[in-house]
Amino acid sequence: MNFLNQLIVRFVKLLPKPVVYLFAKKYIAGKKLEDAVRVVKELNQKNIMATMDVLGEAISTKEEALAAKEECFEVLDAIKNNNLNANLSIKPTQLGLSIDVNFAFDTILEVVKKAASFGNFVRIDMEDSPYTDKTIDLYRKIKAHYPNNVGIVVQAYLKRTMDDVIALNKEGGHYRLCKGIYVEPAEIAYKDRERVRKNFLDVLKRMLDDGNYVGIATHDDPLVEGAYKLLEEKNLSKDKYEFQMLYGVKENMRDKINADGHRLRIYVPYGEQWYAYSVRRLQENPQVAWYITKAVLKLD
Ligand code: FDA
- pLDDT of the chain, 300 residues: tens digit per residue: 567 666 666 777 777 888 788 778 888 999 999 999 999 999 999 999 999 999 986 688 999 999 999 999 999 999 999 999 999 999 999 999 999 999 999 999 999 999 999 999 999 999 999 999 999 999 999 999 999 999 999 999 999 999 999 999 999 989 999 999 998 999 999 999 999 999 999 999 999 999 999 999 999 999 999 999 999 999 999 999 999 999 999 999 999 999 999 999 999 999 988 887 777 777 766 665 665 555 555 544
Alpha helices in 49-130 (DSSP H): 62-81, 101-117
| Alpha carbons 292 and 300: distance in angstroms, whole number | 11
Q: Which atom of ligand 1 is nearest to the CA of 179?
A: 43
Q: Residue 283: inside a domain, yes or no?
A: no
Show which residues are catalytic.
125, 176
| Alpha carbons 293 and 4: distance in angstroms, whole number | 9
Residue to probe by mutation, ligand 1, list 129, 193, 285, 290, most atoms within 8 Å of CB:
285
Residue 286: per-residue pLDDT: 60
Q: Residue 226: inside a domain, yes or no?
A: yes
**What is the Cβ-side half-sphere exposure of residue 68, based on CA atoms within 13 angstroms?**
28
Are the C-beta atoms of residues 157 and 177 closer than 8 Å to each other? Answer: no
Ligand 1 centre and the CA of 103: distance in Å? 30
Residue 20: per-residue pLDDT: 81
Q: Give the range of the structural domain holding residue 151, as residue numbers without chain letter.
A: 29-270
Residue 21: per-residue pLDDT: 85
What's the total number of domains in the chain?
A: 1
| Ligand 1 lined by 227 (C-beta under 6 Å) | no
Q: Residue 5: inside a domain, yes or no?
A: no
CA distances from 259 to 23, 61, 252, 254, 264 (A): 28, 45, 10, 9, 10
DSSP state of 158: B
Give the CATH number, domain containing residue 57.
Answer: 3.20.20.220
Ligand 1 centre and the CA of 283: distance in Å? 11
**Residue 187 C-alpha from the chain's centroid:** 25
Q: Residue 297: inside a domain, yes or no?
A: no
Residue 94 dihedral angles phi and psi, to the nearest 5°: -65, -25
**Residues paired with residue 214 on neighbouring β-strands, in sequence order:** 175, 241
Number of H helices, E strands in the chain: 12, 8
Q: Residue 184: inside a domain, yes or no?
A: yes
Q: Is 293 exposed, middle or buried (0-12, 13-18, 19+ CB in 10 A)?
A: middle
One-character DSSP codes across 181-203: -S---TTTB--SHHHHHHHHHHH
Residue type present at position 291: Y
Q: Residue 282: inside a domain, yes or no?
A: no
